[in-house]
Amino acid sequence: METEFTPISALIGGVLIGAAAVLLMWSQGRILGVSGIVGRLLPPASAPDRGWRLAFLGGCLAAPAIYALATGTLPDIALPAGLPVVIVAGLVVGIGTTLGNGCTSGHGVCGLGRMSGRSLAATATFMLTAVATVFVVRHVLGS
């Protein structure tokens, strides 16, 4: 399996994520943690500040259409695994973000930017787990 290095799109994406984090902190005084934003839209944890959470989620869902309008092409999204694997992986990530009290955007982007020791430990755990998972899937299982 080969991957493609795309520094320009990665830089643009990183700048947009950082800008979104700053904008949310400035406008709402909130950390941009996607798992917390989405999780608090679901019962029983429904938050009273649903408006900006729904707007954020709507923006995430509308992003591919905005990209298509801006570039004239649809984003190239490939699932290297079947839909059942992706669903199970999503559930495992959801459980992990609940246990870790946050996700890569909350801990990795915002927490590290605030010099949080807890976020440093969480981000190191995310990254080590990702490296181990890729190693096992590619080199042990041979997928």
Residue that wins the pLDDT comparison between 21 and 80: 21
pLDDT for the residue 11: 93
4-7: long-range contacts at Cβ-Cβ below 8 A with a sequence spacing of 24 or more? none
For residue 143, is pLDDT > 70? Answer: no
For the stretch 98-125, pLDDT in tens is 887 888 888 888 888 889 999 899 889 8
Give pLDDT, residue 15.
92
Distance (Å) of CA 35 to CA 8, 41, 74, 104:
27, 10, 26, 9
More confident residue, 58 or 99: 58
The pLDDT mean for the chain works out to 85
* Residue 9 structure tokens: 């799109």
pLDDT digits (tens, 9 = 90+) for 124-135: 988 998 899 889
Residue 1 pLDDT > 70: no
More confident site: 142 or 15: 15
Q: How many CA atoms lie within 13 A of 125 on its CB side?
A: 16
Amino acid 3: pLDDT: 67
> Could you report the per-residue pLDDT of 23-34, keeping only the tens digit for each?
988 998 888 888
Helix, strand, coil percentages in the chain from 3-state DSSP, rounded to 5: 70, 0, 30
- Calpha distance 20→26 (Å, rounded): 10
Kindly report whether the global pTM for this prediction surpasses the value 0.85: no
